[in-house]
Amino acid sequence: MQTRFPSVQGAPLAVKKPHTTQFHGVKLIDDYYWLRAENWQEAMREPEKLPEDVKSYLVEENEYYEKAMADTRDLQKKLIAEMRGRIKEDDNSVPVKDGPYAYSWKYIEGGEHPIRIRSARNGGEEEVLLDINKEAEGKDYFEIGFVDEDPSHSVLAWSRDTSGAEYYSLTFRDLASGKDRNVEIKDVGSATWANETTLFYSRVDENHRPSKIFRHELGTSPDHDVLVYEEDDPRFYCGVGKTRSDKFIILSSGMNDQDELRIIPTDNVEAEPILIQKRQEGLEYSLEHQGDHFLIHTNANNAVDFKIVRTPVEKPSMENWKDFIPHRAGRMIISCSTYKDWVIWMERENALPRICFMGADGTTNEISMNEEAYALGVSPSPEFDTDIFRFNYSSPTTPTQVFDYDLKTGERTFLKEAEIPSGHDSKNYVAKRITAKSHDGAEVPITILHHKDTPLDGFAPCLLYGYGSYGMSMPAGFSANRLSIVDRGFVYAVAHVRGGEEKGRQWYEDAKFGKKPNTFHDFIASGETLAEQNFTSKGNIVIMGGSAGGLLVGASVNMAPDLFAGVIADVPFVDVLNTILDDTLPLTPGEWSQWGNPIESKQAFDDIAAYSPYDKVEKKDYPAMLVTAGVSDPRVTYWEPAKWVAKLRDHKTDDNILLLRTNMSSGHFGKSGRFAALEDAARSYAFALKAVGKA
């Protein structure tokens, strides 16, 4: 293993305070359990209330980080300037027509946050509805959640989080006066307008789980809001939405691999919710409305890669579901949208998406794309009776482009391409798609981006990114920030490992429960293949992943440390066994459908213990590592990365740098604001460059 990034003196050593638990006859001794503050829920909302011993340790690690990275400060400033130079500071989104208005977001020069604006539908004077820059003044963290105008376009409901803990407070703004009403609803999850006076919303409980749905009437106190639905199973999270026809409110209760929906007509908001289909193990479904039918996107009846069915509004339960777009193995139907006369869906096959649509005549068409690797996004019109469908397109070399598509004529109208003020020539970059053969023969797609002048002789460093959990597929899209590392000679690669759904639902199922190590084997095979094909070389690869992607890089570096020059683990889910054994944590009960329930199952316990990065730390050499955490993070609690670093520092036998940087005033997603977020990217890229001797 190369040691291009030697450690500096004064690395913190966390004190050991052994804590013993026992499951299935197995004793677990956790030397660093004390980093889990007893008042962690309080500290999540108010980080200053962390116990002094925990806070002191995290601050000491931050000071060590600053010392170790001091020689990259000028490089980080240069990287930030480059990345900021690629951001059009005075930018506008493409307006979206809705009723009498056209709505959009705009940025002003120097503004961290967007501004919600509207004008008359066919042009006219701009009206500012919500300036988030003003709302965020004086706050260390400020993130907008729900923003939506009521159907009469006279009241704006909007929510914000001011700590990073994802506790959102919602209020109402009268658009005629521009002033907020003296009403605040705290701890709101999702929300949706039913009509001009009624809003449905979910609320998170003391365990940060959205477990209740309420109905609020404008002009009344939230204290009088009506509880519409309450979920008793801690594995299931509640949410609210509305069909695009505006005819029905959707009350959802679901977990990763199971759904249960109820509906309420928007013209009778006090009606009892109508159950669509009772929850069943493994049954997933979502709903849209069109005429006298619902269209349901589901995996029912062994439709592993999903299908779309129709069912009468009056008889919506599963015995009446009839195939509309039938299941086809290997073609993953991702989503479904409806207009009055059209059904539009997105599907994916062999890691590439496409948009398909069908009109009243039953003919299926698709919107075609040409590049070897690309990403698509859909933005259906808020208006139900229309023939215009909006989508966006990008690729590793092509900035995001926005199009309107006429479903009747097939005409594609180009609306906008993201502008790169400092300049961008896609011809200077090469995007490729290759495959790696994993340990069991599975073929893993890899998307590659490099500068055309980077020699592919095996000497180029590589930044390899992956995620691989929850069925989340990694798009082959454009990133302006990424160019800063690619322009410095890196090959940037995304490994589409099992755990995502890039190759269909089975690609995800093959990395659950005891099959989870397939994800790590796929990632390691991707790194080895990149080296074998001379895109890079062993020991010259920096791996990067966040959250469950942090589990991926954490497990991979335990398994194959010599393959990597460095590891960037952002808010990593690495204390897997202890976390999934702790059913008081916000996400744990709902996670059992992914990893198994180690409290009840000895097999699940053994499966997780076999790969949990924290539990598998060994006395051996590790590459240079940068680990991040956020004190307010409700998804991956700060003590997971902190404990992992403490144990690694005690066990590792090399002199390579090991860094923990904790954001003491934000959560899972780091700093808020478009420019502030560049600091996080610059730190990661500076670390990667230094790890391979290019800083």
Choice among 593, 668, 672, 680 that is catalytic: 668
Tokens coding 439: 């340990």
| Rounded CA separation 623/565 (Å) | 5
By C-alpha distance, which of 396, 437, 430, 392 is closest to 412?
392
Q: How far apart are CA 247 and CA 263, in angstroms?
A: 10
- Other CB atoms within a 10 A radius of the CB of residue 99 amount to 13
In this structure, the chain runs to a length of: 695
Q: Is 605 left (phi over 0), alpha (psi -120 to 50) or beta?
A: alpha
Q: At what angle do helices 517-532 and 548-559 cross, to 10 degrees?
A: 70
SS3 609: helix
Secondary structure (H, E, C), 166-225: CCEEEEEEECCCCEECCCCEEEEEEEEECCCCEEEEEEECCCCCEEEEEEEECCCCHHHC
Q: Which of 190, 547, 556, 612 is catalytic?
A: 547
Q: Which helix (H) or strand (E) holds 591?
A: helix 588-595
Q: 547 an active-site residue?
A: yes
Q: How many CB atoms lie within 10 A of CB 586?
A: 21
* Tokens 């890229």, residue located: 685
Stated as kind and residue range, the H or E segment containing 375 is strand 375-379
Question: 3-state class of 337 per DSSP?
Answer: strand
Beta bridge partners of 637: none
Residue 9 CB-density burial (10 A; 0-12 exposed, 13-18 middle, 19+ buried): exposed
Question: Tokens at residue 211, please?
Answer: 């477990």
Catalytic residue among 216, 633, 672, 684: 633
Is 668 marked active-site? yes
Neighbours of 145 (CB within 10 A): 17
Closest CA to 685 of 429, 480, 386: 480
So which residues are the catalytic ones?
547, 633, 668
